Amino acid sequence: MITVHHLNNSRSQRILWMLEELEIPYKIEFYQRDETTMLAPKELTRIHALGRSPVITDNDITIAESGAIIEYLTEVYGTEYQPNMGTSEYHQYRYWMHYAEGSLMPQLLVKLIFDKMKTNPMPFFVKPIAKKLANTVIEIFSRPNIDRNLEFVDDHLSKNNWFCGDQLSGADFQMSFPLEAVVARENGSNYPNILAFVDKIHSRPAYQNALKAGGPYHYA
């Protein structure tokens, strides 16, 4: 039996969605973020040394890292979610599976950190310096990079129903989290195809079941 070690408001939502699409039995162990630091509780390190979510266990196998989990679930339970090797859809699949966590998420994370730096409590005399530094990094580095990435993704989605063409695939589960974060935190309305993609996944019965199973999720 598969167990999802699910942290609230986290990337493990994409794994719950995938499992609901696969229609296979699974159970959920729930973990709550610390409300101040937003970090995962220590107990998660008992499942995997890094203490991050998602992590799944499937009998005696433990797998961390969203991309690795999606590939495992695809190989073992749902080969229909991976295009055939050697096809152009497969090249897209591999690209988006890596791009989500390798390129897009780091850009969003840098911006999140500098956004937080502007509002975090600090001595009054440091605040203007911290704010100036954060605004400069966002303006010079973060914003242009994020915009370039989102234009690129939006353009891809304007020509494809799903990330790998006409079939829902692992790449869509993997890309769902950063795009939900974009719509919730960044100005998603500038990117109509990203907005439409997020609306489309949220309206799927399997996604709705995953929401019911996982509990409150700020990005949907």
Ligand X SMILES: N[C@@H](CCC(=O)N[C@@H](CS)C(=O)NCC(=O)O)C(=O)O
Binding site for ligand X (CB under 6 A): 7, 10-11, 39-40, 52-54, 65-66, 101
Of the pair 37, 203, the CB lying nearest ligand X is at 37
How near is the Cβ of 135 to ligand X at its closest, in Å? 26
How near is the Cβ of 215 to ligand X at its closest, in Å? 15
> Rounded CA gap, 68 and 55, in Å?
10
18: three-class secondary structure by DSSP: helix
What single-letter DSSP state applies at residue 8? T
Of the pair 131, 211, the CB lying nearest ligand X is at 211
Of the pair 85, 109, the CB lying nearest ligand X is at 109
Residue 170 near residue 74 (C-beta atoms within 8 A): yes
What single-letter DSSP state applies at residue 189? G
Of the pair 165, 215, the CB lying nearest ligand X is at 215
How near is the Cβ of 40 to ligand X at its closest, in Å? 4
What single-letter DSSP state applies at residue 139? I
Sign of CA dihedral 117, 140, 143, 13: negative
Of the pair 105, 213, the CB lying nearest ligand X is at 105
For 41-78, letters b (16+ CB in 10 Å) and e give: eeebeebbeebbbbbbbbeeeebbbbbebbbbbbeebb
How near is the Cβ of 108 to ligand X at its closest, in Å? 11
**What values do phi and psi take at 130, rounded to 5?**
-60, -40
How near is the Cβ of 129 to ligand X at its closest, in Å? 27
How near is the Cβ of 50 to ligand X at its closest, in Å? 8
Strand order in the sheet with 2-7: 26-31, 2-7, 55-58, 61-64
